[in-house]
Amino acid sequence: MGLYEVIHGRRDVRAEFTGAPVGADVLERVLRAAHAAPSVGLSQPWDFVIVRDRETRSAFREHVREQRRRFAESLDGGRAGTFEKIKIEGILEATLGVVVTYDPGRGAPAVLGRHTIADAGLYSVCLAIQNLWLAATSEGLGVGWVSFYEEGFLAGLLGIPDGIRPVAWLCVGPVSHLETVPDLERHGWRRRRPLERAVHHGRWGERLR
């Protein structure tokens, strides 16, 4: 697949995991791609916890289900009805989980480029995640980002040390297919914005005529 094909073909996957095995060589290539991401001050503040154990995944899924219930309770009638139909995780259906963490202490205190923007460390982790996501797509794997969790719960479940934040639980594995339209759009939750609305020329709000 060419780069643009991978970028536009990538999808957040929940329902299409087959549960088939992922070869060690494939997983290694995908993790190497993540680890090749740019990072503020070359801090490489990420780590990857590979979770295969079913009991651990079940415990996490239970927690996610509870967070889903909480979110659903905060919605009004129409929105709650739309949300009900949306699957938000494939934790057990995927072959494995990859939990990506952020260590703000890595390379500290003088992280070059982070002195005015503390979030630059988190941005770096997100770039590693995006690299992983694109590499997985080009390997024929699906990835689904799960963020319906309390950080303390996931840190406790996986023995992540104090001060290190779990940024994402990624469901990873072979898929039957990738949808061409995001799930949230297909289910009427939200539509993608056209690029023209996101581009400003010279000053905020200025558009080309």
Ligand X SMILES: Cc1cc2nc3c(=O)[nH]c(=O)nc-3n(C[C@H](O)[C@H](O)[C@H](O)COP(=O)(O)O)c2cc1C
Contact string 168-197 vs ligand X (x = CB under 6 A): --------------x-x-------------
Residues 64, 70, 74, 79, CA torsion sign: positive
Contact 150, 121 (CB under 8 A): no
Based on the shown chain and the rule CB under 6 A, indicate whether residue 14 belongs to the binding site for ligand X: yes
State how far Cα 74 lies from the chain centre: 23
Cβ nearer to ligand X, comparing 72 with 112: 72
Closest approach of Cβ 148 to ligand X, in Å? 5
Q: Give whole-number Cα distances, 69 to 18, 33, 83, 115, 148, in Å.
A: 26, 35, 11, 39, 10
Based on the shown chain and the rule CB under 6 A, indicate whether residue 165 belongs to the binding site for ligand X: no
Based on the shown chain and the rule CB under 6 A, indicate whether residue 58 belongs to the binding site for ligand X: no
Based on the shown chain and the rule CB under 6 A, indicate whether residue 12 belongs to the binding site for ligand X: yes
Closest-CA residue to 88 (of 193, 179, 191, 187):
187
How many helices, marked H, and strands, marked E, lie in the chain? 8, 4
Considering only residues 62-121, where is the footprint of ligand X by CB under 6 A?
Answer: 88-89
Q: Which of 48, 83, 148, 153: binder of ligand X (CB under 6 A)?
A: 148
Cβ nearer to ligand X, comparing 115 with 190: 190
Question: What are the residues binding ligand X (CB under 6 A)?
Answer: 11-12, 14, 88-89, 145-148, 182, 184
